[in-house]
Amino acid sequence: MSNARNLADLLAPGETTLQTVAIETDRIILNGTDGSASNAGDDLLLDASAASTDVGERFTYEDATDDASSLTSQFLPSSLGSEDFFRKGNTTNSAGRREIAFGATTAKEGGDLVDFAIRTSGINGTGTAMTVDASGFGMTFGTDDNNGRPFRFFGDRILNTYCVEIVHDGDNAGAYGMKIQCGADNNAGTNYGLTFSDGDGTTMGHITFSGGTVSYGAFTAHHPCIIPNSDNNPNSEDNAYDYGTLLETTSISYTQKNGADSERGIVYNVQKTQSANSKSVLGAYGSSMNGGPDGGTNLHQALILGDGHILCNNAGGNIAVGDGICSSATEGIGQKATANPSMIIGIAQEAVTFSNGTETKLVAVQYGLQQFIPWS
């Protein structure tokens, strides 16, 4: 036998009766007015009978398991406002907060501009997860300051991880990653697609485009390489060799995917160059990638294209602009190429004079592996 009763029957004699009580397939209607627009009132009041300054549990959703903790909503106390469906802190300007509904949020109503924020106890200084600046049409993540940008991500002291990750999961080559659309419609002039800056905001370089061509600058390309274990410290991110030290290939290995070699994932096993005019020269040492995002324990950079330097001595004489640089008989050190032909790894971009036979200097070069005929 059902114990259900009409809500109106619960009202004591003399109390105002509900104008509408209805149960439909997708909703329950409790209407405390006659339904006219001119006679608006409180349709539903939930009172926990707590002090007005308390934020108590006003509404609890209970699922089929009778687990009342599965979803709990807390309404703010009446001391913070009256009719508003939702109110956060400021009670003097609430117009923009009245039109908040499931599935949609309006941040502007009646001429009022209302910012929106989600606060967290995160590790950055402001504890801000997301903000929307209604007056400046700026959206930020991780900070209140949009830095004059329409859209800004900010990470503070989040170490050994990426600030932003874009995932388009689909197990298909058509699941593209990221598109940048900017600049002039006819791509005339210099259009800045991407800018790289260091930790304090100093610009390091750009990816630009103009007239149908993409340009990278300043630019240096590298091959990933593995050095001898005797020279590598797997627990250190410090460079294993001096910048500009020449490296030569000893063998080829490949990155692994699902326990098999990747078809194009070449990784070079290298050592310092061992002889003059080595045909196995690969590039100049750049830096260590140990401890990086891929968790490398023996992974380093061999610089092979673009701007850079090579450590050189005077075994081939002083160096002029345009001279080819090959390996010398000194381990890991380059020299002016004199043999015909020479296997060079760079072309000098500055003139360098040596004071003695043991001195080494970094020589600015344009990297590039090629067979070279010295100038006569």
Q: What is the mean pLDDT of the chain?
A: 76
Would you say residue 88 has pLDDT above 50? no
CB 22 within 8 A of CB 8: no
pLDDT of 143: 63
Rounded to an integer, the average pLDDT of 208-214 is 93
Torsion over CA of 353, 356, 357 and 359, rounded to 10 degrees? -70
CATH class of 221-376: mainly beta
| pLDDT more than 90, % of the chain | 48
Asked if residue 366 has pLDDT above 80, the reply is: yes
Query: In the prediction, which pLDDT does 8 show?
Result: 53
Q: Percent of the chain having pLDDT more than 70?
A: 57
Task: Please say if the pLDDT value at position 126 is more than 90.
Answer: no
pLDDT at site 212: 92
- The domain locations on the chain are 180-218, 221-376
CA distances from 326 to 5, 110, 117, 271 (A): 95, 74, 60, 15
Highest mean pLDDT among 31-45, 152-166, 198-212, 331-345: 331-345
**Would you place residue 144 in the very low, low, confident or very high pLDDT band (cuts 50, 70, 90)?**
low
pTM (2 decimals)? Answer: 0.66
Question: Is pLDDT of 338 > 60?
Answer: yes
CA distances from 82 to 173, 321, 333 (A): 55, 80, 79
Does the pLDDT of residue 188 top 60, yes or no?
yes
| SS3 call for 59 | strand
pLDDT band at 215 (very low <50, low <70, confident <90, very high): very high
Q: Is the pLDDT of residue 195 over 80?
A: yes
Cα–Cα distance for residue pair 108/145, rounded to 1 Å: 21
Token readout for 156 is: 């503070």
Q: What is the CB-side half-sphere exposure of residue 276 using CA atoms within 13 A?
A: 13
- If pLDDT is split at 50, 70 and 90, which confidence band does 104 have? very low
At residue 357, the pLDDT reads: 86
Higher pLDDT, 86 or 286: 286
pLDDT at 26 (0 to 100):
58
Map tokens 């296997």 to a residue.
343
pLDDT at 294: 84
Q: Which of 164, 168, 210 is nearest to 189 (CA)?
A: 210
Q: In b/e form, how buried is each residue of 24-45, taking b as 16+ CB within 10 angstroms?
A: eeeeeeeebeeeeeeeeeeeee
At residue 314, does pLDDT exceed 70? yes
